[in-house]
Amino acid sequence: MLGDVRVRSRAGFETERRGSHPYIDFRIFHSNSEIEVSVSARNVRRLLSFQRYLRSSRFFRGITVPNSSNILDDDYNGQAKCMLEKVGNWNFDIFLFDRLTNGNSLVSLTFHLFNLHGLIEHFQLDTMKLRRFLVMVQEDYHSQNPYHNAVHAADVTQAMHCYLKEPKLSKSLTPWDVLLSLIAAATHDLDHPGVNQPFLIKTNHYLATLYKNTSVLENHHWRSAVGLLRESGLFAHMSLENRQLMESQIGDLILATDISQQNEYLSMFRSHLDRGDLCLENPNHRHFILQMALKCADICNPCRTWELSKQWSEKVTEEFFHQGDIEKKYHLGVSPLCDRQTETIANIQIGFMTYLVEPLFGEWARFSNTRLSQTMLGHLGLNKASWKGMQREQSGSGDDVDPTFEEMDSDILPQEPRLS
């Protein structure tokens, strides 16, 4: 029953289907867990699951939910709606919004953005199918993950919305472009297991073999998203050709978030800007800019206010350290940035900002030199200074930046180290 079941695709690949993999108790990643799991290193891969089949949606269990037509909890409905009126503000507090929506930030925010951008009317979407799709997406994120969960997806989706509003983009993008962008943002880390690609490779997980150790997580996020799109029937009224095009282009966007390909995308972006040949009337150029926008949204946490950025930094470091703990426990060799005995949040953050965030957002500001771009760079500078202050307190020196980011090559760089 729990075999390797997949849905055959007429688009030329097999989607990852919900409920097709063994269940993992993710509490083994938490140091304070009371559960002891007896397993050897060679069997760790059997524990990893990418589908939480035990947590089926209430829609599929047939449970009637009072006032199910309302996304937001009645007690907080007014406050959450007030926040959505400012969804385009860069200081939007996704943690507060998640609390006000009783943990339904991804569903509530994405549904609102679909309506705000006129996508429901333009594409003649069935609102119940849309909600069903978004609920499935939200539930296929692992709430046990400190960082790679539905709140992170909602945060990235909100950031993507801010970028779509930028003058250069807003006057050039088509409804199709906006649709792809929001779906890709909401699903870009779908079913993330809370461990990185090197972990999957060294534990011989079948997904690493399936995707030949290349963009393993990103490929899985994409195929999982396609599986939910088909299962929901959200675009069943579209032609097969358009559905296949949508699936392919969503894949292009999600695959661009592979951090090991950062230099390649950044080099192309820089070359376009140096030549001044970007033409947003060209669909290929627009698609490339959307890829860069999603990359920015994915690692924009250091560009948020200190209050928000610091929370994200602590969450992603916690997730890294949990991976390191289990690697130690099963003698797998601790991955870079995952050893809580040798790493600090400050060192990791400063390295992340220096080698990944600053170069990307510097080029984005060249492309779109707006108030938002300057605000993001301003927060980035202030946040980096704050981490350096903490680093000096911890080490007595301001020059102890973790060299890991600079020295490691792309095949061992932690996949999607959304470190902030």
* Residue 188 annotated as lining a ligand binding site: yes
Q: Taking CA 145 as the corner, what is the angle to CA 142 and CA 146, rounded to the nearest 5 degrees?
A: 140
Q: Taking CA 373 as the corner, what is the angle to CA 372 and CA 378, rounded to the nearest 5 degrees?
A: 95
Is the pLDDT at 414 greater than 90? The verdict is no
How far, in Å, CA of 32 to CA of 105, rounded?
Answer: 27
Q: Taking CA 79 as the corner, what is the angle to CA 74 and CA 82, rounded to the nearest 5 degrees?
A: 125
How many residues appear in the chain? 420
Residue 60 lies in a domain: no
Work out the pLDDT band at 22, boundaries 50, 70, 90: very low
Question: What b/e readout covers 196-212, taking b as 16+ CB neighbours within 10 angstroms?
Answer: bbbbbbbbebebbeebe
Per-residue pLDDT averaged across 362-384, rounded?
Answer: 98
Residue 413 lies in a domain: no
352 or 8: which leads in pLDDT: 352
Is the pLDDT at 362 greater than 70? The verdict is yes
Residue 397 lies in a domain: yes
State what percent of residues in the chain have pLDDT above 90: 75
Per-residue pLDDT averaged across 36-58, rounded?
Answer: 42
261-278 pLDDT per residue, tens: 999 999 999 999 999 999
Work out the pLDDT band at 3, boundaries 50, 70, 90: very low
Residue 331 lies in a domain: yes
Domain count, the chain: 1
Q: Residue 138 maps to which CATH number?
A: 1.10.1300.10
Residue 339 lies in a domain: yes
Per-residue pLDDT averaged across 393-411, rounded?
Answer: 57
Residue 3 lies in a domain: no
Per-residue pLDDT averaged across 333-343, rounded?
Answer: 97
Radius of gyration of the chain (CA): 21
**Residue 286: its H or E element:** helix 283-298
* Residue 150 annotated as lining a ligand binding site: yes
* Residue 316 annotated as lining a ligand binding site: no
How far, in Å, CA of 216 to CA of 253, rounded?
Answer: 15
Question: What b/e readout covers 23-47, taking b as 16+ CB neighbours within 10 angstroms?
Answer: ebebebbeeeeeeeeeeeeeebbeb
Query: Terminal CA-to-CA distance of the chain, rounded, Å?
Result: 39
User: Measured between alpha carbons, how far is residue 89 from residues 61, 137, 199, 322, 371 in Å?
Assistant: 37, 24, 37, 33, 12
> In this predicted structure, what is the pLDDT of residue 226?
98
How far, in Å, CA of 311 to CA of 334, rounded?
Answer: 24
Range of the domain at 208: 11-33+40-52+77-407
Is the pLDDT at 182 greater than 60? The verdict is yes
- Cβ neighbors of 154 (< 8 A, separation 6 or more) are 94, 97, 98, 105, 106, 109, 110, 186
Output the six-digit token pair for 73.
């909890």
193-226 pLDDT per residue, tens: 999 999 999 999 989 999 999 999 999 999 999 9
Residue 221 lies in a domain: yes
Is the pLDDT at 185 greater than 90? The verdict is yes
CB atoms within 10 A of CB 241: 8
* Residue 149 annotated as lining a ligand binding site: yes
91-120 pLDDT per residue, tens: 999 999 999 999 999 999 999 999 999 999
How far, in Å, CA of 258 to CA of 413, rounded?
Answer: 10
Q: Taking CA 98 as the corner, what is the angle to CA 58 and CA 164, rounded to the nearest 5 degrees?
A: 105
- Cβ neighbors of 112 (< 8 A, separation 6 or more) are 84, 87
* Residue 349 annotated as lining a ligand binding site: yes
- Judge contact between 280 and 367, C-beta under 8 A: no
Residue 380 lies in a domain: yes
* Residue 122 annotated as lining a ligand binding site: no
* Residue 285 annotated as lining a ligand binding site: no
Work out the pLDDT band at 292, boundaries 50, 70, 90: very high
How far, in Å, CA of 287 to CA of 284, rounded?
Answer: 5
- Judge contact between 21 and 49, C-beta under 8 A: yes
Residues catalogued as catalytic: 148
How far, in Å, CA of 237 to CA of 239, rounded?
Answer: 7
Per-residue pLDDT averaged across 52-67, rounded?
Answer: 43
H runs (alpha helix) in 165-215: 167-170, 175-187, 197-202, 206-210
The amino acid occupying position 415 is: Q
Q: The pTM is what? A: 0.83
